Structure 1
């Protein structure tokens, strides 16, 4: 009986093994006769229901007591927003392994609190730990613009030699508060003045796939030379999938955070590639994706590369390790067949 029970728990743990979107930590606290007492944590009520169903189907004579299994996500959850210009999303409640970064104003569902840390769920379902003192319950103004400058310098007044108040990272959503002499006052952390050409209005995002592709090529050049950073998604340092995600956000397209997720949610395509298509690389034996790049047209790409320590242009056919590790491609544009 215990072996069968443990096997079911192992099977469920494997089904929900992707900790970027799931949590399954359940163990057998006791087993006496035909009664099993379970304890642990799961993310969703649906996960607990999946466990109950698996147990009922496989071990129909087993009485299961699962009151000790905590469901972390609840109805009407606490929502906080990122209150600083940028903070990290970590694998554990400590300043350790960086999973991603969180920009000013992003809304986070608080799943669990532990001291100064919160286990959070982003709107796209991506999970991790954030530092609570950098989050706020203050009302974030509804954004109207995206910051396009890789690092925007926030000034106290609408002039280039005004005192510097802070910085806002490219890709941050802000609200336009005022305009004066080619400068824009925006809601950020802190509020301040930026040149108007550092912003792109949501209502002026490119509409057609052709316009989006062309704009992505211009935007990609802005980030040339930004250093590589595992988990980074800003000009402070950026990884391959963070770079791909940011370029899409700048033209109004939402993509998942990591490379394998980006392929899974995109439209698979074959060569020839168009500007803005995504090319994926990795282990050709297992087909495991480990890297994503953006086509500039054909096999010429721009990407944030660990090998080159940053955002640079390469030609896949001229770089042996890229040519040998190419796996597949996808697009988030609606102008081509798969």
Structure 2
């Protein structure tokens, strides 16, 4: 697929994965809960237009009380409640980008436990949905230790993660992408939703492609502008994964 993204957007997306020099005086935040809502106004009663998952780096454009105007890695703007994020300085984001990071590649949610040995429900401190990126490392063949954006640390099964740089450099696999799409069958439809917990139509596309390392734009009206256009008379040329 050929993406029509600005240089600014491309650099912003890459900076979420690879160590990268930032312009000074930027303001940042990271999602600190499994799935955070993005709204079109400053209030819980305003329309939810999208979501961002644990670990997503957000550029903070404005702060007004408990509401932040943020920009996501794909350039999507909206308001997020400050309780959903950990506010970060430039130096903190530089540390995160250069740290050892892991990506959740488990389609079911991954539970993070307070201890490497205890696995009772009361020992769960959080969970990660598919493609959450967190600081972490392998401590033995079966366990990783992760640090969440708000500073809490916990333990999880190593089979649910791969290193961020390995995830980002994988060749695209349409069969695996289609498997994720089929796995999401029965997932609740929710306007503005964009995670394995619930999706809307363009959210489904975004979740499926991001699982394979491709960050699409958010809305259908934006996604129509990426890749190679297929006209209605070319239906015989359609392939699996075409939108």
Q: Identify the TM-score tier after normalising by the shorter chain.
A: 0.7 to 0.9
SS state at 1:186 partner: strand
Check conservation: 1:146, 1:250, Cα contact below 8 A: no
Q: 1:259 aligned to 187, 208, 220, which one? A: 220
1:136 deviates by 2.0
| Structure 1 residue ranges without an equivalent (≥5) | 1-74, 279-338
More strand by share: 1
Corresponding residue of 1:8? none
Check conservation: 2:141, 2:158, Cα contact below 8 A: no
Using the size of structure 2 for normalisation, the TM-score is: 0.73
Higher relative contact order (CA 8 A, sep 6+): 2
- Structure-to-structure mapping, 1:59-78, within 5 angstroms: 76-78=25-27
CA distance in 2, matches of 1:199, 1:252: 14
Check conservation: 2:74, 2:215, Cα contact below 8 A: no
Aligned length: 202
Q: Could you report, residue by residue, the CA deviation over 1:83-110 in whole angstroms, capped at 9, with x for unpaired residues?
A: 3332110011011211111222222222
Corresponding residue of 2:31? 82
CA distance in 1, matches of 2:196, 2:171: 27
User: Does residue 155 of the first structure (1) align with residue 105 of the second (2)?
Assistant: no
Q: Could you report, residue by residue, the CA deviation over 1:44-86 in whole angstroms, capped at 9, with x for unpaired residues?
A: xxxxxxxxxxxxxxxxxxxxxxxxxxxxxxx944222223332
CA distance in 2, matches of 1:220, 1:187: 29
CA distance in 2, matches of 1:94, 1:229: 18
Q: Could you report, residue by residue, the CA deviation over 1:19-60 in whole angstroms, capped at 9, with x for unpaired residues?
A: xxxxxxxxxxxxxxxxxxxxxxxxxxxxxxxxxxxxxxxxxx
Residues 104/219 of structure 1: CA separation in 2 closer, same or farther (3 Å cut): same
1:216 deviates by 0.9
The two structures, once aligned, show a CA RMSD in angstroms of 2.4
Corresponding residue of 1:243? 204
CA distance in 1, matches of 2:163, 2:201: 26
1:237 deviates by 1.4
Residues 223/185 of structure 1: CA separation in 2 closer, same or farther (3 Å cut): farther
Q: 1:195 aligned to 157, 169, 190, which one? A: 157
SS state at 1:244 partner: helix
Corresponding residue of 2:16? none
Larger radius of gyration: 1
1:145 deviates by 2.7
CA distance in 1, matches of 2:182, 2:144: 24
SS state at 2:209 partner: helix
SS state at 2:70 partner: strand
Q: 1:225 aligned to 186, 203, 206, which one? A: 186
Corresponding residue of 1:174? 134
1:146 deviates by 2.0
Check conservation: 1:168, 1:188, Cα contact below 8 A: no
CA distance in 1, matches of 2:143, 2:182: 23
| Structure 2 residue ranges without an equivalent (≥5) | 1-23
1:181 deviates by 4.1
Q: Could you report, residue by residue, the CA deviation over 1:235-279 in whole angstroms, capped at 9, with x for unpaired residues?
A: 22111111111111111111101111111122213433222222x
Q: 1:123 aligned to 73, 76, 80, which one? A: 73
